[in-house]
Amino acid sequence: MTITRRLFMASVASSALLTRTARAAETAEVIYFGGPILTIDDANPRVEAVAVKGGRIIQAGSASDVMKLKAGDTTMVDLGGRAMLPGFFDPHGHMTFGGLQALSANVLAPPDGEVTDIASLLETVKAWAAANADMTAKAKIIVGFGYDQSQLAELRGPTKEELDTISTELPVFLVHQSGHMGAFNSKALEIVGYTASTPNPPGGVIQRKPGTNEPLGILEETAFFEAAPKLLGNVGPDGLLALAEAGAKMWASFGYTTAQEGRSNAVVDAVLRQAAADGRFPIDVYSYADVLLGADYVKGAISKSYDNGFRVAGAKLTIDGSPQGFTAWRDRPYYAPIGNFPPGYVGYPAVTNEQVLTAIDFAYANNLQILVHSNGEAAHDLLIAALRAAEAKHGRGDRRPVLIHGQFQREDQVQAFVDLGLMPSLFPMHTFYWGDWHRDHTVGPALADNISPTGWYRMRGSRFTSHTDAPVAFPDTMRVLDSTVTRRSRSGDIIGPAQRVDVMTALKAMTIWCAYQAFEEADKGSIEVGKRADFVILSADPTAVDPEALDQLLVTETIKDGKSIFVRGQKKADLMRPRDVLNPGFYEMFKQLYVMRQLAVLPESHQSPETRVLIEASYDDCAATLLLPWLFGLDEHYQDVAAN
Ligand SMILES: [Zn+2]
Ligand SMILES: [Zn+2]
């Protein structure tokens, strides 16, 4: 932290103190009024108006009290019946990777998009590229996700010449809904280096113009998977800055005023630090660096305060895989797994016992926070043993270790985690996206009810947080809220009625408890005098609508430090954000790239189809983030960073 920054923080802190005592002398820069204001402060749950000065809340209370702070130049913001809450605080997501999702045109067919034929596909991408010209220029690429020729009137994908009508200067890269093929314009093919003389790679096809060898623009399977990283590698460090910026803006558009980089490393942190220094982040961004990729780096990088809106907050450890992919490490066999699994298959750990014990001991010994991805019961048993050992050796302290996902838990494990002072960051969004899958395949109907067991934590008086793990899902706050409250699956089932919580509890799991999880509760997470003026404005009061309609609420405005940073527009070429699909092409493409990359670093004797299946099944967002430096051509850049 620079000296000026430190002085600034000190002056902010003292002015925050002053407002508590000498409030009468203050005048407000902005006053919000005219709608329900939910403070998420149990001592003062609803107020009529809020006054802001210097990016901080200077009054929150009755309209008459707050209006006393009004001066001639005070900006008055009439909520017009919309609801104001503290800004949402992301307890676990992957912002930079999410940026690629944010920087993509939506070329899905109805109902998730508007593309019905080649003409509407081209029009959609053109409109999107025009609306996001500054971003596409910085990222040096135009990307779209989700076209499907079977849904297009012509029953074929677009040719390179058709895509050249979008741009001849920038590469255009449209990913098929399957994630296994894509359409490229001439510039993109040029960057990739595919010409008439390029043979089809084994396991892939470069589609050709009829009667010639000239590429048509459509690439399939390995031809596609080998081309995609070359194209994304062309993006380079500058492009990654643009992705990070796009990610931050996307998080802001869902009402987040603090976003997480949930598994970073020295390279990604360097990019984020640069983006922050360049003033590209409208919101605060905090990161957790993979402890197995560099414990010393983590130790040296951690900071309690933000520098230009960025800080490294702690370490990240990943114990096992993904519950929907049957790679969460369980204490009992999977219920009815789909795939070639041996009898009694329980998944497996991604690390050794020793690595887990060492990493947790490292966190406790150095008094730092660690986020632990752990999904299956066996993974939790190991985590509990490691936490107990570290606590016995180093004492309880106040390190707030975090359980990430905790999808399958026994009730005794919930009790153990509560006893150990662990913060559970759960994933109730799973009840919507994969609830039916868990009921039918992973754990069966009885145990599916207890995935992300928010109710068990509340019974014990424990806080919890509710995350999106975006970009696995979009960082859609209203989907998080809805699924934490209703636990309704896509088929309409309620996955665990007893684990449901009320709307106010779910809101705490998106605000004040997230701030607590990140040691920022003195500054964020509720609307209280002295805290940051970070707000979200929703289309209606979430406590006053039918819970089944919570997902229909809209984030209409996001405010950071008293300044409006996102206002919902009516643009047709809005960012891609289907609400009910997981952007399958995006997910699948990165899974395949991940498998390709992971297989490539193994000795040839280990590159078997069985290994491939296991690697494929272990894929999730936390895993995908490991691809970033390689995918965006930062491996060389990494050497520089590591040397510094
Ligand atoms: Zn994650
Ligand atoms: Zn994860």
CATH of the domain at 321: 3.20.20.140
pLDDT in tens, 443-462: 999 999 999 999 999 999 99
Residue 404 Cα to ligand 1 middle (Å): 8
Beta strands 423-426 and 465-466 are: parallel
Q: What is the pLDDT of residue 453?
A: 98
Determine the pLDDT at residue 163. 98
Q: Give pTM, 2 decimals.
A: 0.87
Can you give the pLDDT at residue 627?
A: 77
What pLDDT score was predicted for residue 14? 46
CA of 441 to the centre of ligand 2 (A): 20
| Contact call for residues 151 and 107 (beta carbons, < 8 A) | no
Residue 182 lies in a domain: no
Residue 373 lies in a domain: yes
Which of 81, 115, 148 corresponds to the end of one domain?
A: 81
Helical (H) or strand (E) element with 174: strand 172-176
Domain housing 371: 237-567
Cis omega (within 30 of 0) on the bond before 111?
Answer: yes
> Of the bound ligands, which one is closest to the alpha carbon of residue 260?
1
The reported pLDDT for the residue numbered 642 is 38
- 60 Cα: distance to centroid of ligand 1 (angstroms): 35
> Has residue 635 been placed in a domain?
no
How deeply is 201 buried, as exposed, middle or buried, from its count of CB atoms within 10 A (0-12, 13-18, 19+)? Answer: middle
In this structure, is residue 275 part of a structural domain? yes
Distance 123 CA to ligand 1 centre (A): 34
pLDDT of the residue at 470: 86
Question: pLDDT under 70 in the chain at which residues?
Answer: 1-25, 570-584, 621-622, 633-644
pLDDT, averaged across the chain: 89
The single residue listed with the structure tokens 């690595």 is 355
- Residue 341: other Cβ atoms inside 10 A: 15
Position 607 scores a pLDDT of 79
* CA–CA gap between residue 276 and residue 266 (Å, rounded): 15
Domain membership of residue 456 (yes or no) is: yes
Tens digits of residue pLDDT in 140-173 = 899 998 898 988 999 999 999 999 999 999 999 9
Q: Quick check: is 551 in a domain? A: yes
CATH code of residue 62? 2.30.40.10
**Domain for residue 287, yes or no?**
yes
Picking from 567, 602, 626, the residue at the C-terminal end of a domain is 567
Provide the pLDDT for residue 322: 84
Report CA(322)–ligand 1 centroid distance (Å): 10
Distance 480 CA to ligand 1 centre (A): 15
- Ligand 1 center to 471 CA (angstroms): 9
- End residue of a domain, out of 545, 567, 589: 567
Burial of 395 by CB count in 10 Å (0-12 exposed, 13-18 middle, 19+ buried)? exposed
Dist. CA 322 → ligand 2 center (Å):
7
> Are 256 and 224 a contacting pair, CB within 8 Å?
no
Q: Residue 138 domain-assigned?
A: no
Give the total number of structural domains in the chain.
2
Residue in 525, 522, 511 with CA at minimum distance from that of residue 16: 522
Paired tokens of 566: 């996102």
